[in-house]
Structure 1
Amino acid sequence: MNHSALYVTVSLSLLTATILTVSSLPFAWWIVYSGSRWVTLGEAILTLTLVLPPAVLGYLLLVVFSPDNPFGGFFAKILGHPLPFSFEGLLVASLLYSLPFAVQPVSQAFRQIPQSTIEMARLLGASRARTFFRIIVPLSLSGLWTGWILGFAHTVGEFGVVMMVGGNIPGSTRTLSLKAYDDLLSMNDKSAWESIGYLLLFSFLALTALNLIRRKGTSRESIEVTRR
C-alpha cells in the first residue's frame, strides 16, 4: 500500500483537531458568557456546516478560495499558490467543516461549571482572564478532549469537502477515504480494504476514547452527588 494517503490523513486530522481545540475556546466563551444578543445567530452560523451537504460546502469554499476572491487572493499571495487543490486549502476547509464538532462540546462543558464557582473566583480578586484560564479551562478539560477527538475523527472521515477542495492529488491532498473510493472504482479490492481498515481503526479508537471520557465524567458526577 502507498502510505502517502495515510500520512496526509493523519497530518490533516492532527492539525485540524489541535487548531480547533485552541480556537474553540474563544468561540465557546462568547457563546456561553458574552451575553450578546447575537449568540443565537452566531451559533446558527457556526453549526451551518452540520446541515449543508458536503459537496455544496466544498463548492462554496472553492468560490471563496479562488484567487479572484479577496480572501483567496490574500492567501495566494502569502502561500505563493492558490488555496484550492493544495494541502493548505484542505486544512482551512477541514477547519471550517469540523468547527462545530469542537465548539459544541467545549460550550457544553462551560455551561456545566457552576456560576457560583466563577463568582467566588471574581470575589477573591481574580481577573476575568485569570478566572478563564485558571478556573474555567481546567474544569472543561473533558469537553476539550471530546472536541479534539471529534474533530480528529470527523476529519479522518471527510469525503465530499476534501474531494471538492483538495482535488484528490496523490501525496498532497489524497486522503484515505478518497484512496478507498479510487480503489473501489478501479476494482482494486485489496488496496481498498487496507484503506478501509485504517478508517475503521481510527473510528474505533475515537469512539473508545469518547466512551472512556464519558464514563470518567459520569463517575465523577456520581462521586460528587454521593458527597452531597
Structure 2
Amino acid sequence: MLDWSFPPALWEAVGLTLRLAAVSSLVLLVIGVPLAQWLNTSRMRGAILIETLVSLPIVLPPTVIGFYLLLLMSPQQPLGAAWVSVFGQPLPFSFTGLVIGSVIYSLPFAVQPFQQAFRSIKPSMVESALALGLTPRQTFWSIVMPLSKHGLLTGVSLSFAHTMGEFGVVLMLGGSIPGQTRVASIALYDEAQKLNYPTAHAYAIVLLAISFAILVGIAFLQRRQRVGLLT
C-alpha cells in the first residue's frame, strides 16, 4: 500500500495551479469570444493565417512556445523592457508571465469550441433577428451568446483543464519558485526527480481527481449541447 504524503507545499502548489487556470480561463473567455466570432465571420485574407496561428499550440511543442515567450519577455527585448519600466519587475519567473504563457498555449482549446458553438446556431435565427431590426451586435449578445452557452462553458472548461496540466511552458517561463511559479505539475516533477515517490503520488492523485472531475463536467456539457441541437 502506498504511503502518500500530503504536505502543505502540495496544497500551495495545487492552489497556485487552480488560480493560474482560473485567471487564464477568464482571460481566454474575454478575448476568445470576440476572436472566435471574428474568425467565423471575417472575409479578410489574413483571417486564415490568424486562425492557423491560433491553432499552432496544438501541434507545437510546449518548450518551443515557452522558449520564444521567454525571449520575448526578456528585459533585453522591447516588450520585456517596457514591462519592467512600467511595473518595475520582469515578466519571466512571475505569475503574470505564467498567465500570458498559459493564455497563448491554451488559446485554441478555448477559441475552437467557441467557434463551433457559434457555427451551430441556425442562420435563420440570426437572419430573423436582423429582419426584426436588431443590429448585428444586439443579435450576437441577445441571440448567439445565450444559445452558445454550453459550447462556451465547454471551451472554458477545456482551457482550464489544459492549463492544469501544463508543464513545458510553465517550466520555461516560471521555473520552480515556491508560492510564485511552482505549479503542481512542476512540483510533481521535482518530487519524482528527488525519488520522493510518496509525495509525487500525492500530487499525481490530486491532479488526476481534479482532471477527472473537469472531464466529467465537459462530457455533461457536450451531451447537453447535442441534445439541444436535436430538439
| TM bracket (short chain) | over 0.9
CA distance in 2, matches of 1:75, 1:152: 26
User: Which stretches of structure 1, 4 residues or longer, exceed 6 Å deviation after superposition?
Assistant: none
Following superposition of structure 1 onto structure 2, how do residues 66-215 of structure 1 map, counting pairs within 5 Å? 66-215=74-223
CA distance in 2, matches of 1:79, 1:185: 35
Counterpart of 1:164, as a letter, is M
Match of 2:18 among 7, 10, 13: 10
For the residue of structure 2 that corresponds to 1:36, the secondary structure is: coil
1:221 counterpart residue number = 229
Match of 2:31 among 19, 23, 38: 23
The answer to whether the 8 Å contact 2:28/2:103 transfers is yes
CA distance in 1, matches of 2:145, 2:56: 26
CA distance in 2, matches of 1:202, 1:109: 25
1:33 counterpart residue number = 41
Compute the TM-score of the two structures, normalised by the length of structure 2: 0.93
Counterpart of 1:146, as a letter, is T
Counterpart of 2:219, as a letter, is N
Identity %: 42
For residues 134-162 of structure 1, the C-alpha deviation after alignment (integer angstroms, 9 at most, x for no partner) is 11111111111011101110000000000
CA distance in 1, matches of 2:97, 2:203: 23
CA distance in 1, matches of 2:39, 2:159: 19
Q: Runs of 5+ in structure 2 lacking a partner?
A: 1-6
CA distance in 2, matches of 1:142, 1:174: 32
Compute the TM-score of the two structures, normalised by the length of structure 1: 0.95
2:3 counterpart residue number = none
| Matched residue count | 223
For residues 78-113 of structure 1, the C-alpha deviation after alignment (integer angstroms, 9 at most, x for no partner) is 321010011110111101110010000000011111
> Aligned-pair RMSD on alpha carbons?
1.1
The answer to whether the 8 Å contact 2:151/2:222 transfers is no
CA distance in 2, matches of 1:49, 1:215: 27
Per the TM alignment, residue 218 of structure 1 is displaced from its structure 2 partner at its CA by 2.2
Counterpart of 2:225, as a letter, is G
